[in-house]
Structure 1
Amino acid sequence: MKIIIIGSVAAGTSVAAKARRNDETAEITLYNADYDISYSSCGIPYFLGGEVAELDTLTPRSAASFKKRYNVDIFTRHEVIQIDAKQKKLKVKNLDTAEVKEDTYDVLVFATGASPITPDIAGADQKHVFQVRTIQHTAAIDRYMKANQPKNVTIIGGGYIGLEMAEQLTQRGLDVTIVQRSNHIMAHLDQDIASRVEDHLVKKGVTLILNDEVTAISMTDIQTKSGKVIETDMVILAVGVRPNTQLAKEIGVTIGDTGAIAVNSKMQTNLPHIYAVGDVAESYSVITGKPIYRPLGSTANKMGRIAGDVITGGTLEHRGVLGTGILRVFDLAIGQTGMNETEALAEGFDIEVLHNIKPAKAEYLGGKEIVIKAIADRKTGRILGVQIVGEEGVDKRIDVFVTAITFKAKAEDLFHLDLAYAPPFSTAKDPVMYTGMALQNAIDKKNKLITPKDLTERIEKGEAIQVIDTRAPKQYNVSKVETALNIPLADLREKCKELDPNLPTVTYCNSGVTGNAAQNVLRQIGFQDVYNLSGGNKNYQDYRKNT
């Protein structure tokens, strides 16, 4: 069997490695138009910021070492320019010599990856404007920075790469500006969570421009649609990637609604003996079963392994993804998985939303707060998505939620997890467990929740609603919900006689726990419609500040 793989980064090399482990007799060839194979594009910002000392460490494998270990032929700087799917032939151009040769295959795998998008901006082709995708891009940025010692950099785009570059270049001593055309950074987060990251960026000295876009780039500045002129010595384009599907289109491979190649669970395309893996291929949602596009190295490796197994007679199948992501922005970690609130509503789910603010470990050991936004389906109780922001403990919690959602856990299941506990690592009632408990109580309507957004909208509509601040007067006088009455929890049983038990009532404290206790008191003495403000006054004030 002759297997030809087009592309040799994460997905392509994974196909080859798994196929070779299964079949020692297969003839396996990889063609790659780039210079490098199997490199870590996710590590690029950390080299440019100085955390990774040598660029070579991001390319742990060479074509020669891969050949020696797996008996696989890799031809870098070789571009497949034409495919005849009926005859199972292709033409390959040597980009260094311009020589064109013909090759044949029994099985063909598209692992052509994705290319960074270059926005239509005047001046985007200048020498001080860079993409961040390949090792060659990285080397070019490094050379430019060493030669020109830039002081200011503008990053166009506020996604993962944009934020990682902002962190690293700030730490390297540059003045960093991010320009984001939408109203918040990180499209996979809801605005109320993204705003916390935005505040942290600004606190760390990054200039953040939202709802604007760059219209022109010169050697000394950039200009925006709103008329801003910002001095800049270097520009980083980080507006996303586009799957490299042109070669597949030319032979009739089906392209999905996401713009990537449509594949089944075995990574097979619509054409016989042709597969697609990695950033050029669609995945599908574990929750909805619908196609989604999430170009990540972890997914690419998984897809490659599955295709390599299937091609050589194995039974592996792709089980979909949740679109999980995590990144560090200075000393803040941000993790997300599954659907955000906007996506869940668009899919027609009747959702319950919880903002859970809890310390990641015992406060008496310096535990710092993490903010968990969890979304569940009221009909089934199933967890649909989670977003977490905090300085510690984010990674382990997001992975617990990923596992739970993958296995279709309900909110109530989270409370029953036997999670590891010791004060240096967690609290006795871990934030994951508390999230499940509070969500389930809200779904059962025992302890209903109201988000800051919903409360604000109801107040602005003039709805008759009574809001009770259960904190001490000193805290109340510093910041509060504008219409709230201050009745500390200790006084509530007596002073509740002054309230109307038939009106919708909202209780709140700093983060939710005392507000929940007050909610229980009012429910038990006959109040008909009582809500606890999700995330308490901390969450409310953050929402109001950013809307």
Structure 2
Amino acid sequence: MGKPRILIVGGVAGGASCAARARRLSEEAEIVIFDRGQFVSFANCGLPYYVGDLISDEKKLLVANANLFQSRFNIQVRLEHEVIDIDPAAQTIQVKNLQTGDVLSEPYDALVLSPGAAPIRPPFPGLELPGIFALRTIPDSRRIREWIEVDRVKRAVVVGGGFIGMEMSENLMRRGIQVTLLEKLPQVMPPFDAEMMTAVHTHLREKGVDLCLSNGVKGFVSDKADGLIVQTESGDDYPTNLVILAIGVRPETTLAEQAGLQLGDRGGIRVNAQMQTSDPHIWAVGDAIEVQDIVTNEWTLVPLAGPANRQGRTAADAIMGYDTQFRGVQSTSVCGIFDMTVACTGASEKALKRAGIPYAKVYLHPGHHVSYFPGAHPIDMKLLFSPDDGRILGAQAVGYEGTEKRIDVMAIALQASLTVFDLEEAELCYAPQFGAAKDPVNFAGMIAANALRGDAPIVYWEHLSAEQVMLLDVRNPDEFEAGHVANAVNIPLPELRDRLSELPEQQDIWVYCQVGQRAYYATRVLRQCGYNAYNLTGGYKTQQAMDQALDPTHTLHPEHPRP
């Protein structure tokens, strides 16, 4: 392109990455970033921890500033400059200087839109009352911190149980503020399947969060004593000093719409694999665009920093003439919830159902390292895979140390179109304090591969009530007495070979233990002795989680107490 003039709207994540990448590809290009805010390239993922004072120095949130862009990359950054209009035919933009009010016309050879997304603010009555905040920018975090300190906040209501809702609940609690978390859905963290979140619900309550599920906000009213009252759809009222709206975000598409660019069904800017919009001179990246899910092939919105950075690089490569493609997303993500970690990659079970994609699944609860080394604790895992060839479709994990490590391995396996048979053979790091000779990733692959080969076929708890089967519990008698599934027959695993005559020869036998391992051993014994035996995947622990997902008042009885 010779000496192209590249203008970038928005300087966080995708926009900043695009600018830096473009400079590394061309010393001749003129590159200008316009941002209506006071900061460029800041770490918005760190904002909850700044509110919680875990990050006490605001400067730590600044990944780069305008001076650094100029001195290191020869990139102009114009802060507090809002792009208010695009003229695609003339290839110009109108830019308003927010400090002076002046409006200038700027020509471009290539325009990159990276406007991000804005917090969703439904039209609740009383939404504009003092003390109600959303968190998206550094000024937002400043206002929340100031409100906490000046108003001496003692109670807060967080609306929404997604990533920001989880992180804000933790950080407000860290500051000694009592938190009520309102979530309209029957679970927190909607990207996960419901049964995987039951342990998280228990954990939040153990940490002191007043968790209110299946209860949305109706409105807000002022209150002399507390400042605010949050009114809910259930009719319950929650007095509070502070409200954090963490309902989600929607793509900022005003400029794109005004310019006549194509939008997708999900409301984001539609782009091709080179991040090019419907206009050949305009590209778009980050939270404002729709992206294609590599598992379901559906268009979706994924407001995550990792994909935004990769999109910025792809756009810069395309502008500079490189043969490049953005491969799509698989929504790999992680969240810390107090000292617990939840992570996922690929499609959830509910997403596969929506897309009509056939799948199989296994549950397991392996220790994060060997049990003989101090501090071992379980990771609750769910693996989704193709029933035809074992190709990995998604994975979820909930635990403490080492949880995100396992999902990172699964993410690469999914990206490479590997199968559960590959997971069986994966060679991973092992030392007693880090894992086991058979890593949880290996175990997941082995369980799934054994099922596909027919060596130890699996069945699912949700199908139990519809089948005429014998339900066999192979745990020890004391475990059985502490809690078991209705109509189950208890034959402990050590006694099984001597009591085969008690089992029906013509009826299917569904076997369970606490987490699945002993039931696997029992299934192998029974199948080799001619019985139609199947392993109920994940054991009694998974059944309990599923029951609690259906009935939040149900009490969990985990095999391993959480640390």
Q: TM-score, normalised by structure 2?
A: 0.94
Q: CA deviation at 1:204?
A: 0.8
Q: Which residue does the alignment assign to 1:4?
A: 7
Check the 8 A contact 2:266/2:290 in 1, yes or no.
Answer: yes
Give the equivalent residue in structure 1 for 2:490: 486
Q: Deviation of residue 157 (structure 1)?
A: 0.5
2:379 alignment partner, SS class? strand
Distance 1:119 1:398 in 2: 34
**1:473-505 deviation line (CA, Å, top 9, x unaligned):** 111100111111110112112222122122121
Match of 1:61 among 64, 67, 70: 64
Candidates 154, 162, 167, aligned match of 1:164: 167
Tell me what 2:110 maps to: 107
2:294 maps to: 286
State which of 127, 132, 144 in structure 2 corresponds to 1:129: 132
Matched, 1:296 2:296: no
Matched, 1:197 2:205: no
Q: Does 1:236 align with 2:252?
A: no
- Which of these residues, 423, 426, 446, is aligned with residue 437 of structure 1? 446
Aligned position for 1:381? 390
**How far is the alpha carbon of 1:140 from its aligned partner?**
0.6
* SS of the residue 1:254 aligns to: coil
2:98 aligned partner: 95
**Aligned-partner Cα distance in 2 for 1:450–1:270:** 47
Q: Give, as a single letter, the amino acid of the residue that structure 2 aligns with 1:182.
A: L
Q: Which amino acid aligns with 1:90?
A: I
For 1:449, which of 458, 477, 497 is the aligned residue? 458
Aligned length: 541
Give, as a single letter, the amino acid of the residue that structure 2 aligns with 1:524.
Q
Q: CA deviation at 1:184?
A: 1.0
CA distance in 1 between counterparts of 2:308 and 2:545 reads 37
**Secondary structure, counterpart of 1:96 in structure 2:** coil
User: 1:410-444 CA distances to partner (integer Å, 9 max, x unpaired)?
Assistant: 11110111111111111111110010110111123
| Distance in 1 (alpha carbons) for counterparts of 2:42 and 2:462 | 43
Check if 1:309 corresponds to 2:317. yes
Q: Do the aligned residues in 2 keep the contact of 1:303 with 1:318 (CA within 8 Å)? A: yes
Which of the numbers 402, 419, 423 marks the counterpart of 2:428?
A: 419
Matched with 2:49 is 46
Show CA shifts across 1:124-154 (max 9, x none). 1122000011111011101111111111110
CA distance in 2, matches of 1:411, 1:225: 44
Gapped regions of structure 1 (runs ≥ 5): none
Contact 1:2 1:105 in 2 (8 A): yes
Q: Do the aligned partners of 1:33 and 1:76 also contact (CA within 8 Å) in 2?
A: yes
Corresponding residue of 1:262:
270
SS of the residue 2:257 aligns to: helix
Aligned partner of 1:390 among 370, 379, 399? 399
CA-atom RMSD in angstroms: 1.2
Asked if residue 515 in structure 1 is aligned to residue 500 in structure 2, the reply is no
Q: Is 1:467 equivalent to 2:471 in the alignment?
A: yes
Flag the 1:380–1:346 CA change in 2: closer, same or farther, 3 A. farther
CA distance in 2, matches of 1:505, 1:351: 23
In structure 2, C-alpha distance between the alignment counterparts of 1:518 and 1:484, rounded to whole Å: 15
1:350-389 matches, cutoff 5 A: 350-365=358-373, 366-389=375-398
Aligned residue identity for 2:314: I
2:157, 2:242 within 8 Å by CA — same for their partners in 1? yes
Contact (CA 8 Å) 2:134, 2:246: kept in 1 or not?
yes
| Counterpart for residue 19 of structure 2 | 16
Task: Kindly indicate whether the alpha-carbon contact (under 8 Å) linking 1:352 and 1:442 is maintained by their aligned counterparts in 2.
Answer: no
Q: Say whether the 8 Å CA contact 1:90–1:104 is kept in structure 2.
A: yes
Separation in structure 2 between the aligned mates of residue 220 and residue 348 of structure 1, nearest angstrom: 45
Kept in 1: contact 2:198–2:548 (CA 8 A): no
**2 CA distance for matches of 1:313 and 1:495?**
72
Distance 2:315 2:358 in 1: 37
- On the 8 A contact 2:253/2:269 being kept in 1, the answer is yes
> Quick one: distance in 2 between partners of 1:108 and 1:442?
52
Where does residue 531 of structure 2 map in the other structure? 527
Per-residue Cα deviation, 1:490-541 (whole angstroms, up to 9, x for no partner): 211222212212212111111111111111111111112x221211112212
* Residue of structure 2 in register with 1:503 after alignment: 507
Amino acid at match of 1:64: N
Q: Is the 8 A contact 1:352 1:443 kept in 2?
A: no
Contact 1:341–1:375 (CA under 8 A) maintained in structure 2: yes
Which residue matches 2:224?
none
Identity between Structure 1 and Structure 2 (%): 37
Counterpart of 2:416?
407
Secondary structure (helix, strand or coil) at the match of 2:366 reads strand
Report deviation, 1:294. 0.6
Residue pair 1:383, 1:408 contacting (<8 A) in 2 also: yes
Corresponding letter in the other structure for 2:52: G
2:313, 2:117 → 1: CA distance?
Answer: 19
